[in-house]
Amino acid sequence: MSKKYYIGIAYNHPVCPINASHARVYVVADTLARYKRFQGFEVKMPFACHYSGDTASKFATAIKQYLRGVKNQEVDKIIWLFREFYKVPEHSLKSLTNSISILDYFANQTINDLKRLGISHDWNSYYNTTDLRYKVFVQSIFDGYKDKGLITQGRSGKSLAYENKLWRLKTLRQLKNTQIVSRKWHHIIRDSVLLLDNQWSYEREGGIGTKIDGNIVDPMFDSELFTVFDIIKDFLEPNLKYDEYKSAISESLKHLANPTHKEGEYKYQSLIDYLNKWLPVDMFFGEEHLKNWLAKKVYAETALLSKKYRTKSYFLLGMGTLLGKRMSASKGHSILLTDMLNSHGPEVARLSLLLTSHPCEHFNWDSNQITGIKRSLNRLYFLIGILDNLRPDRKKRDDSLLKLINESKIAWYKFMESGDFRKAAIETLNVFPNKILKHIQTKKGIDIESLELIKGYINQSLNIIIPTYFNNQQIHYV
């Protein structure tokens, strides 16, 4: 039986095209997923979209007004966003007159862009949060909060009992025992846990989402345990009745909270076995702006999941800025992934996101790096061409070259293990090719053992760092 590795990524909110900052999360997560597969792990990396928020409704209202001939500053601004910045065709614009149609449109665009980028999600398991199964799951989660006495009344409506001293202490203890890539983020999430209070109501009067007691659950409260749902959903057919979903999900959550039952005691034993196989999440990815939600996630897992099912590690990425200001595609201040792909292709787009900074650090977008990336890719492909046409010396063994190869591989593995995928990409793209080209030019040849090792190492690292290379081997960047 192969080892498992479960990667969770914060929900995509498809109210607009995905920007470079958000896309970097998927590139970094995919790099880890490919590395783990290379190591022999069976990797699960689901993708889903969260349908919620007021922005989609605001956009839909403006489009309807535009189609009726209404003109004002707000309408003109939103229509400019859709036509000029998002490049939505006029015939498509006419169909985007409600929130769901807008979310569907950009969800499809995001999925297509991520596929072009080479992101290896479990695409066949895609869903969005209007799925009935998800709504039943959210309702069952709140049943769990209620059973533990963790629902309280705040000033603006019902809330979770974040100020309960016992549960706050348990949450902080859980956080202390959770690995977080980059120590600074540990302190930031800890501060967020301490700032959670009972006045943050989970009730909203309108919008898209799951209803509880007649009110919509705020999107910041319905998704903390969605990585559990991602496992459960695989076992639940999309055409069952509400009561069947409720029964299976309730039994699953009871097991995850208190896994003391013996095998065979469950009605949905195969589902329980599947949960036991994949949980906990081994690494969860999100951006810095989600720090409050991540604090709530640790609280939710502490309250509703037994220790062995709680997320092992978190990888928090820094945010991207453009001209010193945080990127926001919904406000028209961003570099869009679809534009990067159309202008430069998937290899350059992917590398530009990996090479910006250490993943845990913020970055300011610099378009000048594109020229350097294209130059480095051409040099790498030039080396690959030389190696493919080189006639190796089958008699001699070049110990100095074998040492160089081994040192480079050790450095690359070190970077991959630490999560510094930027340095791993630099090793693949620049450092190793330069060393090999210099050696070939100096020694006027290469031995057969070294040649096979070099080719294997390059193919291995390319499949992880820039996997789309294997679909575009004839590209020359200018």
Tens digits of per-residue pLDDT, 460-477?
999 999 999 887 654 443
387 and 309 in a common domain:
no
Instruction: Establish whether the linkage from the previous residue to 280 is cis, with ω within 30° of 0.
Output: yes
Give me the helix-helix angle, 99-116 and 337-354, nearest 10°: 50
Rg of the chain's alpha carbons, rounded to an integer?
Answer: 25
Please check whether residue 252 is in contact with residue 31, taking contact to mean a CB–CB distance below 8 angstroms.
Answer: no
Q: How many Cβ atoms sit within 10 Å of the Cβ of residue 404?
A: 18
User: Amino acid identity of 315?
Assistant: F
Quote the CA–CA distance of 153 and 129 in Å, as a whole number: 26
Q: Where are the alpha helices (DSSP H) in 177-317?
A: 183-195, 226-233, 242-257, 269-278, 291-304
Query: Is 209 part of a structural domain of the chain?
Result: yes
Query: Is 346 part of a structural domain of the chain?
Result: no
89 and 213 in a common domain:
yes
Please check whether residue 305 is in contact with residue 225, taking contact to mean a CB–CB distance below 8 angstroms.
Answer: yes
- Which pLDDT does position 262 carry in this prediction? 62
Of 322, 357, 380, the residue at which a domain comes to its end is: 322
385 and 290 in a common domain:
no
- Determine the length of the chain: 478
Provide, rounded to the nearest whole percent, the portion of the chain with pLDDT above 90.
85
Q: How many Cβ atoms sit within 10 Å of the Cβ of residue 186?
A: 17
Q: How many Cβ atoms sit within 10 Å of the Cβ of residue 307?
A: 10
Q: How far is CA 412 from the centre of its chain?
A: 23
Identify the sign of the CA torsion 338, 344, 348, 354: negative
Query: Is 334 part of a structural domain of the chain?
Result: no
Domain that holds residue 208: 4-322
The two tokens of residue 145 are 């909060």
293 and 395 in a common domain:
no
Query: Is 329 part of a structural domain of the chain?
Result: no
Residue 237, SS3 per DSSP: coil
Of 265, 296, 322, the residue at which a domain comes to its end is: 322
In this model, does residue 334 exceed pLDDT 70?
yes
In this model, does residue 264 exceed pLDDT 90?
no
Count of structural domains, the chain: 2
Per-residue pLDDT band for 440 (boundaries 50, 70, 90) equals: confident
- Which pLDDT does position 263 carry in this prediction? 60
55 and 192 in a common domain:
yes
Per-residue pLDDT band for 185 (boundaries 50, 70, 90) equals: confident
287 and 139 in a common domain:
yes
130 and 31 in a common domain:
yes
DSSP, res 308: G
Residue entry with tokens 């080719």: 455
Provide, rounded to the nearest whole percent, the portion of the chain with pLDDT above 70.
97
Please check whether residue 174 is in contact with residue 302, taking contact to mean a CB–CB distance below 8 angstroms.
Answer: yes
∠ CA(361), CA(366), CA(368), 5° rounding? 140
CA distance between the termini of the chain: 47
Query: Is 332 part of a structural domain of the chain?
Result: no
Work out the average pLDDT over 142-146: 97
H or E segment and range at residue 172: helix 165-176
Quote the CA–CA distance of 455 and 452 in Å, as a whole number: 5
